Amino acid sequence: MNMMWACLLLSGGVVILWKSADWLVDGAVGLAKLFGVSPLIIGLTIVAMGTSAPEVAASIAAAVRGVGNVAIGNVYGSNIANLALVGGLAALIRPIRVQLRTLSGEMPVMIAVALLLWPVLADGGLSRPEGIILLSIFAGLIVLTIFTSHREPEALQCEATSGKKDVKRSVLFVIVGLAGLALGADMAVRGAVFIGERVGLSKAVIGLTIVAIGTSLPELVTCVVAAIKGQHDISIGNLVGSNIFNTLLVVGTAGVVRPFGEIASRLAGGVDYWTMIAVSGVFVLLAAIGRRVGRAGGILLLLGYIGYMVYLLVYTAGV
């Protein structure tokens, strides 16, 4: 492979990821509406699952190829990008209102599962049993979220739709979206790793920057569109839900598919791990002030993300 083909693979993979995730979200939301699920629950589950699918596919592809640092770096980088880059841009477009249940429920869960990775990765590796534990916690949270959604009057806000044509269309979008994500993720990982190595970046930094930003594009597009339309629940649900999905589903699946060791210290409880925790804490704090993330908060998040990118690419590129 040469640099031109690597660039084509990366750019083509990101485009396929982006469009496939778009189809997957459209199809999944269409099916979800059949059950009359609320916008917040759709954001926390269906939309979050759809927009996190690139991270799942990219991290699995990286794990299969034996580059665990790319897989874990992708998760950290995506979580940071979701809250600082995507959340910051969405708040700039229109301040994001946050429900009390999200502040007292899903946001603390987001931070709690992120803190859970500290003891899991402290030994510098990820075993299959640890991956299974993470996936079990993820499954329990999904069941709990679905159970509580049926007890909320808000769930009636979404109108149920019917019709065989709509169902077939939604199912087709889901299938094509999943297939496209698998293809796009493999292309993006191949291209990104080759380019990053050629310019002297470490695998950890490749995962934290190139792959993470590429696979966060679905969250970016979804949240920007939701912000423009004033769909605050979809936007905040997507951000928080995606980070929970990334932490539990992506890391857990990567560990089950192919356990790996020798995770870089910066990822196993080092600076990048605590950067993810700090960004999560700042985002929750901003949301708690007036139960919304305003434009000033959006600017703060974006400046923080720019500073982190400068730190990665200038000071620790080869580490």
The structural domains of the chain, ordered by start, are 3-315 (1.20.1420.30)
* Arithmetic mean of pLDDT, 35-43: 72
Side-chain-facing half-sphere of 166: CA atoms under 13 Å: 12
How far apart are the C-alpha atoms of 106 and 123, rounded to whole Å? 28
* pLDDT higher than 70, residue 163: no
pLDDT tens, position by position, 119-156: 998 888 888 999 999 999 999 998 888 777 655 554 44
pLDDT tens, position by position, 171-187: 888 888 878 877 887 78
How far apart are the C-alpha atoms of 290 and 268, rounded to whole Å? 35
Contact 91, 259 (CB under 8 A): no
CA separation, residue 177 to residues 20, 24, 78 (Å) = 4, 5, 20
Q: Which residue has the higher pLDDT, 150 or 53?
A: 53
- Among the ranges given (53-57, 175-179, 239-243), the one the predictor scored with the smallest mean pLDDT: 53-57
Confidence of residue 222 (pLDDT cuts 50, 70, 90): confident
- Among the ranges given (95-99, 136-140, 303-307, 312-316), the one the predictor scored with the smallest mean pLDDT: 312-316
Does the pTM surpass 0.85? The reply is no
Mean pLDDT rounded to a whole number for the chain: 82
pLDDT tens, position by position, 87-112: 999 899 888 888 887 888 889 999 99
| DSSP run (H or E) holding 165 | helix 164-198
How far apart are the C-alpha atoms of 129 and 220, rounded to whole Å? 33
* Arithmetic mean of pLDDT, 231-253: 88
